[in-house]
Structure 1
Amino acid sequence: MSGEITVRPAVPSDAAAMAQVHVASWRSTYRGLMPDAMLDDPGFVARREGFWTTALTDERFAANRIAVAEQDGEVVGIAMSGPVANAEPGVLHLYVLYLLDGHHGSGAGSALLDAVISPAEPAVLWVADPNPRAQAFYRKRGFVADGVEQVEDGVREIRMARAPGPPVPPRD
């Protein structure tokens, strides 16, 4: 790492780089939690690129907030939030927040989170369990496990929620 990390709204031309970050992050984070066949599927990157292209161009995703973190012109992190179905208006769901290995603790995660969900906005997210690094990151930013669990793609997840309030300073 050499240059400063910047965060900006994602644009359609970011889709390929976002897919690379998404897949690389899943492979490093979920190895041992998800089947290797899924993580190593040769079509995985192409499917993620299709997802990001759709998320960045389709009107169905117009209410979502999507951001990338860049360093030296390369995308190193991604984030996306959007409305929560069947929730009170104004509650956001953090759908995605991933960084490439080597960028954890750089401040990029906090900047991405703030880019897609203001610290004063109520929000929910699902996080793999076990994933102590991610869970600690979210706790430091005001999220607490609310007791709801699910299994998605074979991975146990816990739901964490944050009530609205004053900004919570990051403690990286």
Structure 2
Amino acid sequence: MIRPATPADLDAITVVHAEARATYYRGHLPDEEFDGPAERARTRAAWATGLSRDEPGAAVLCAEHDGRPVGVAAYRRVDGVMTLTQLHVAPAHWRRGIGAALHEACVAAWRRDGVGTARLEVFEPNKRAQAFYAAHGWYPDPDTPRDGTHLILRLAVGRTAKPAPLPQE
């Protein structure tokens, strides 16, 4: 079940976030940068802010299984552009359609709100996420294809055109 997240979900969301990030950052960044005490505190504070944010067109959604959050997605406007800021599924729940359901809930909300395009950033070594996004119609941003270690992807909301391939190493 996909539902709006609440402040009561904060602990579960931070765990899902940490578990998912560890799968793609480990081996590419020092553990302290994605799983150290300072980063865990920063992550918790950021999610607390996101859950308390009251701005039009912004949301944090949870995917629930057996009564507990196992996935999370967040979006809001950044510099006037709808941005999928987070989409994570607990690794123990991968390959069950949870990420696809969260993604579709975001896209449905954007369509209702008349959003024309959306953007996201994905860690370049995270090929699993890149394949997920490409399968859902995201394509490399033609104007700004990267920002440091992240690729920038775009989605034409409401359009189902075949996506352009992501750059290969």
Question: TM-score per shorter chain, which class?
Answer: 0.7 to 0.9
**Structure 2 equivalent of residue 157 of structure 1:** 150
- CA drift of 1:39 comes to 2.5
Alignment check: 8 A CA contact 2:140 2:154 kept: yes
**Structure 1 equivalent of residue 36 of structure 2:** 41
- Counterpart-to-counterpart distance in 2, 1:62 and 1:24: 29
**Structure 2 equivalent of residue 109 of structure 1:** 99
Alignment check: 8 A CA contact 1:81 1:117 kept: no
Greater share of helix: 2
Letter of the 1:163 counterpart: A
**Structure 2 equivalent of residue 124 of structure 1:** 119
Equivalent pairs, count: 154
Counterparts in 2 of 1:137-156, with a 5 A limit?
137-147=132-142, 148-151=145-148, 156=149
Q: SS in structure 2 opposite 1:117?
A: helix
Seen in structure 2, the aligned counterparts of structure 1 residues 167 and 146 have a Cα distance that, compared at 3 Å, is closer
- Counterpart-to-counterpart distance in 1, 2:153 and 2:42: 27
User: Can you give the 5+ residue segments of structure 2 that lack an aligned partner in the other structure?
Assistant: 162-169
**Which whole-Å deviations, capped at 9, do the CAs of 1:74-121 have from their partners, x for residues lacking one?**
21111001113144xxxx210000111132221100111122232754
Q: SS in structure 1 opposite 2:93?
A: coil
Alignment check: 8 A CA contact 2:32 2:39 kept: no
- Counterpart-to-counterpart distance in 1, 2:80 and 2:50: 20
**Which whole-Å deviations, capped at 9, do the CAs of 1:120-170 have from their partners, x for residues lacking one?**
54211111112221111111111111252112xxxx1111111133468xx
Asked whether 1:7 is paired with 2:5, we answer no
Asked whether 1:30 is paired with 2:20, we answer no
Q: Which TM-score applies when normalising by structure 2? A: 0.81
User: Can you give the 5+ residue segments of structure 1 that lack an aligned partner in the other structure?
Assistant: 1-5
Q: SS in structure 2 opposite 1:53?
A: helix
